[in-house]
Amino acid sequence: MNQDQIRPMSRHVGSEVHGLRLASASDSDIAGIKHLLAERGLVVFRDQDLSEEDHIAFARRIGPIVVNNYFPANGGHPEIAEVRKSETQQVNIGGGWHTDHSYDQVPAMGSILVARELPPSGGDTLFASMAAAYDSLSDAFKATLETLRAVHTADHIYGPDGFLSNSDQGADLKGRDLKTRAVHPLVIRHPDTGQKLLYVNSGFTTHIEGWTRDESLSLLNYLFSVGMREEFQCRLQWAPGTVAMWDNRSTWHYALNDYHGHRRLMHRITIDGVPIH
């Protein structure tokens, strides 16, 4: 992989790599992909023809695979979670800004998503840079944030009373009885680059450790608004053969739900992470 193959998707996040076949990538290609992912947060490959076995084999070259506790598994391949919405469903998975697995004690490094079935239009995914969000803050505010930790959980999404569990996606989900709670710093360093990152998200961060929910909301809502600034984003338009990898520590993402009446099926493999601090 060389620099001529890489095109930035926006100023702060995302790069597309052209002319590389993931199923036959060399060891040096894999090393380059990992480096680019750490630097840009999102790496997109077009015109791939990955079988399910190829998807798993490529993922294992990136890192250990984590099996998702909630999403339906692909038949015959438990490593692959299906992110799907049928023609009759109104709710999609990931339809709000979030980062996957922040509710785990050791959050996942990232995910590798393969487009399998796409609507005729719509279904794009937005990504946002938490490095850019952090860098935009004042030095005094950064210093305050670095003294705080936040609580993350998925119970309000996937638990018995959770939003997705009680939506038209609920019948396909598993893990309703699981309990999740993790506490992470509001500001972390990327394990590979050392870059400081804002580490909260509106999907799974519920409150500041030691603060009430009401006390926490004003600060968290402000931080969410910073992360959502358009200048920190890029937009991924999916096409047949598109594969996307993202880093959960340094990005948020948002799956747009603008294709009612059409089916969308994505195959996701999640890659294990390391402790964050």
What does the pLDDT average to over 139-162? Answer: 96
Residue 266 located in a structural domain: yes
Output the pLDDT for position 2: 83
Give the domain CATH number at 243: 3.60.130.10
- DSSP secondary structure code for residue 43 in this structure: E
pTM: predicted TM-score of the whole model, two decimal places: 0.97
Select which of 116, 184, 253, 267 is catalytic. 253
Contact 217, 112 (CB under 8 A): no
Residue 56 located in a structural domain: yes
Residues 203-229 as b/e (b if ≥16 CB within 10 A, e otherwise) read bbbbbbeeeeeeebeebbeebbebbbe
Residue 179 located in a structural domain: yes
Output the pLDDT for position 176: 87
**CA-based max dimension of the chain:** 52
The domain in which residue 48 lies consists of 3-271
Residue 276 located in a structural domain: no
Give strand pairing partners of 18.
Answer: none
Say if residue 154's pLDDT is above 80: yes
Determine whether 100 is an active site residue: yes
pLDDT tens column, 199-255: 999 999 999 999 999 999 999 999 999 999 999 999 999 999 999 999 999 999 999
The answer to which of 69-78, 81-90, 97-106, 245-254 has the lowest mean pLDDT is 69-78
Output the pLDDT for position 194: 98
Residue 250 located in a structural domain: yes
Percent of the chain with pLDDT over 70: 100
Residues 44-61 as b/e (b if ≥16 CB within 10 A, e otherwise) read bbeebebebebbbebbee
Residue 277 located in a structural domain: no
Select which of 40, 100, 190, 207 is catalytic. 100
Output the pLDDT for position 186: 98
Residue 70 located in a structural domain: yes
The total number of structural domains in the chain stands at 1
The answer to which of 75-79, 133-137, 146-150, 225-229 has the lowest mean pLDDT is 75-79
Confidence of residue 161 (pLDDT cuts 50, 70, 90): very high
End-to-end CA distance of the chain: 31
d(CA 55, CA 243): 9
Mean pLDDT for the chain? 96
Q: State the CB neighbour count (10 A cutoff) for residue 181.
A: 13
Provide the H-helix boundaries in the chain: 27-40, 52-62, 130-135, 139-145, 155-158, 213-227
Determine whether 253 is an active site residue: yes
Confidence of residue 112 (pLDDT cuts 50, 70, 90): very high
Say if residue 75's pLDDT is above 80: no
Distances (CA, A) of 162 to 70, 98, 104, 166, 175: 12, 16, 17, 6, 12
Select which of 12, 152, 249, 268 is catalytic. 268
pLDDT tens column, 249-272: 999 999 999 999 999 999 999 999
Determine whether 268 is an active site residue: yes
The owner of tokens 């702060």 is 12
Contact 78, 213 (CB under 8 A): no
Output the pLDDT for position 166: 95
275: Cα within 13 Å, side-chain hemisphere: 2
